Amino acid sequence: MELNTLTAHELIDLLKTKEVTCDRIAASLETRIKGIDSKVKAYVRLDKQKEFKNSGAPKPGSSSLEGIPVSIKDNICTEGYNTECCSNILTGFKPPYDATVIRKLKDAGASILESKTNMDEFAFGSSTENSYFGPTHNPWNLDCVPGGSSGGSAAAVAADEAILALGSDTGGSIRQPASFCSVVGLKPTYGRVSRYGLIAFASSLDQIGPITKDVTDSALLMNVISGYDPFDSTSINVSVPNYRLSLGQDIKGIKIGIPREYFIEGLDREVKIILEEAIRELKNQGVHSQEVSLPHTEYAVPVYYIIATAEASSNLARFDGVQYGFRANEPTRANLIEMYKKTREEGFGEEAKRRIILGTFALSHGYYDAYYLRALKVRTLIKEDFDKVFKDFDCIITPTSPTPAFKIGERMEDPLKMYLSDIYTISSNLAGIPAISVPCGFTKAGLPVGLQILAKPFNEEILFKVAHAYEQRTAWHKMKPKI
């Protein structure tokens, strides 16, 4: 029995009966990483940091993850070891504190791998090709991207190089790679999981969430990381249910909306067929479905790329080579402004520069009202579209991505085509609602396809209920890539 292939809840059961030990789990995972990560490249800095650090016994009252390894995306702060957002400009940065989610994992007894998972620089991307450390490869086809920006986390879980992983989702960065890699990815409601210690991309959109092998593990990890945090001004003080109680329930009578705007030109034919089959499976379990409209969907991408880049421009202004990270060698003391310019020119990659420039333009005098303010107004309309549908429906079903994984390098010269990879995931970030992607099939070429389920704010329970019911009637989540 290869312990690295098991789910967290299976390992927890084995630990309880003392059939395995925490050390054996960690050793199995480390052997797997050393054996295949040279091909997948899910992790960064493996040559320097290789050990799992066990956090010890869980604190009383916490959800136990004692001895369960968790892999962490490179933009989530971990005290004392590198957190660089896969960017040259943060080279060598060691945070002096843990993100709240890391503290909660440690309180639950989880062990943390010091090597972080690969990502698009500062989460700017949909393919994990924009990393200072080079691209991650999709375990199902090493010539393809794993999605982004949490591609390292998704690839690690899919390749059994991780038991559990954390990612961040600003416009689909958990769900799209989950779809491309045939794993489960959840973007929680905005404010459900603390963002304290997440190095910000777009502060009104970012959320930390789980990437796991099945829905049960997703619920298990959400039980640990959810909850109010006074250190995060956007954290919402609402009660957190036990998400595992949502699993295994009958979904007969649940009403799902199928938005017509998500099944139009641009959706890959095979993806459409696979999604329709997934919807039929849900109907076989007694779910009622009906076509609905989200009329402002067509504006989601332009609205997102105004708001997100504007917030990124503001958030990344702090990285100037003065207090931490990379500093250009010349000039140093002669001219401070030149040092700032040279440091940012050499420290940021091309996509980061593109988004900083776009965001700075949108916020500039004379363009603020025309772009940023107008985008905020349309964002409200997009949220109101969802509010109207959720008055009559329990959840919404869509494809997670319009296409399966594409080849590495295929879209790097066409930023617009790359941005459209997130067309089905962006809206939920703009609206602040929860969404989950679960495996629902494969194309003829053997590439995974994901089913996305969306619900009203703070109703992750219905997502787990429907996703688990679908998962238990299919075998997609049990299939493994051959590397």
Residues known to be catalytic: 73, 149, 173
CA–CA–CA angle 177, 8, 247 (5° rounding): 80
d(CA 110, CA 2): 20
Exposure string of 3-29, with b = 16+ CB inside 10 Å and e = fewer, is bbebbbbbbbebbeeeebebeebbebb
Q: Which residue in 172, 185, 187 sits closest to 226, CA to CA?
A: 187
d(CA 75, CA 86): 8
Radius of gyration over every alpha carbon of the chain, rounded to an integer in angstroms: 21
> Are the C-beta atoms of residues 449 and 178 closer than 8 Å to each other?
no
> Are the C-beta atoms of residues 162 and 71 closer than 8 Å to each other?
yes
Single-letter code of the amino acid located at 315: N
Q: Which residues pair with 258 in a beta bridge?
A: 291
Q: Which residue in 210, 170, 120 sits closest to 428, CA to CA?
A: 170
